[in-house]
Each structure stands twice: as C-alpha cells, then as structure tokens.
Amino acid sequence: MKIFFLFVLITITLLIGVYLYRVLRGPTLFDRVLGLNGISTKAIILLIVIGTVYERVDMFVDISTGYALVNLVGSLAIAKYLEARGEVL
Amino acid sequence: MSLHDLPEVAGLLMSLVAVGLILVGLFFLFVAAVGVLRLPDVFTRSHAVSLTDSLGAFFVLAGLALYQGFSTNLFKILMVLVLLFLLNPVIAHATVRAAYRCGLKPWSKEDA
C-alpha cells in the first residue's frame, strides 16, 4: 500500500511540472495566476498523501486547510488588483 | 471464510474502493494537465484548471478519506474537500473576470 501512495506522490509531482511550464511560459499574467492555482490544488492533495504515507494525517490535514485559505486570499488579491488596474501585461 | 473475519474482509474491500477512487482521480488530474498544456487561451484553460481539476481532487481526496476508515481524519479530509470545491470556482471566476475586463478577447476559430 505504501508503494501505491509513493506512486501517487510521484505522479502528482510530475503533473505539477506541467503547471510550472504554464506559469513560466504563460503568454499573459492571468495564465500564470491560473497555473499557480492549479499548483496549490496539487500541493493540498500532496500534503494529505504525505500524511497518509507517514500515518500522521491529523497533522497534515490542518496544514493543507491553511494552505487552501492562503491560496484563496492570495489569488483573489492578485485578481482584484489586476482587474482594478485594467490593462493587459 | 466465516462470519468472524467479516471486519477484515470489509476493511480490505474499503481499501480496494479507495485505490479505485484514487486512480480515477489521477486520471482526471492527468486530463486537466493535458488541458492546461494544450488549450489555446486563458478562457479555455480556466475550464481545465477549475472544472477538471476540482473533479480529480474530489476523487483523490474521497479515496484518501475512505482509506482512513471511520475516524476524525475522515471528516477533516472531507472538510478540505468541501473547501476546495468552494474555493476553486471562486478563484477561477475572479481571474477570468479580471482577464475579460482587461480586454482579452476569447479565442475563436479565425485565430487557429
């Protein structure tokens, strides 16, 4: 079972690489924000899988909840700022 | 197999269902990554990031919650799941609205 969870970890890490490509090469700033949102979703899943591997889910779930809330505040702040500025980068 | 190893069999069955759910979720996450890589502009890519990604996260987290058995951790993971389902569309909507208000034109067939 541990090998299966390691497989899940490696797969999700490889998927993060795809999103990282979009963050680095995205034509517009909004592509980068969306890519970061996708990366943080993957990071939340990754944290819970790590907790399952180490059998400390009770601790890692709290960290991932905080991560989700920080992601919400950061992404909303960037989106609101860009909307108020009103020009394409 | 007697009635006495029923809890053991139930636990094994639950693990199998959890593995199946996680594999389905990984498939959806993979499809979302392909969409992020291949789709032409912000408005189409936001579908891959918000819709498909949320579904993949739902399946993976449901599988992990099921693997925990009936405990506090199950409800904590379900809380993260509900949080993701609420937050992901909000962020995608705010970003795409900012992109539209900034004057980005959605991709059309003439651009291909």
Name the residue among B34, B42, B87 with its Cβ closest to that of A72: B87
DSSP tag of B48: I
pTM: 0.89
Give the Cα separation of B69 and B64 in Å (integer): 9
Residues of B in contact with A86 (CB under 8 A): 101-103
Q: Which of residues 1-30 of A touch B (CB under 8 A)?
A: 1, 4, 8, 11-12, 15, 18-19, 21-22, 27-28, 30
Write down the pLDDT at residue A63: 93
Write down the pLDDT at residue A89: 58
Give the Cα separation of B19 and B26 in Å (integer): 11
List the domain boundaries for chain A: 2-85
Confidence of residue B53 (pLDDT cuts 50, 70, 90): very high
Give the Cα separation of B98 and B92 in Å (integer): 10
Name the residue among A45, A68, A75 with its Cβ closest to that of B95: A75
Q: How far apart are the first and last CA of chain A?
A: 47
What 3-state DSSP class applies to A11?
A: helix
Helix, strand, coil shares of chain B, percent, nearest 5, are 85, 0, 15
Residues of B in contact with A83 (CB under 8 A): 94, 97-98, 101-102
Residue with the two structure tokens 């889910």:
A57
Interchain contact A50–B (C-beta under 8 A): no
Model ipTM value: 0.90
Confidence of residue A60 (pLDDT cuts 50, 70, 90): very high
Q: How far apart are the first and last CA of chain B?
A: 62
Flag if A34 and B87 touch (Cβ within 8 Å): no
B4, with CB counted inside 10 A (0-12, 13-18, 19+), is exposed
Please say whether the beta carbons of B67 and B18 come within 8 A. yes
pLDDT, tens digit, 9 for 90 and up, residues B5-14: 778 888 888 8
Residues of B in contact with A1 (CB under 8 A): 15
Q: Can you say whether the dihedral through the CA atoms of B72, B76, B77, B82 is positive or negative?
A: positive
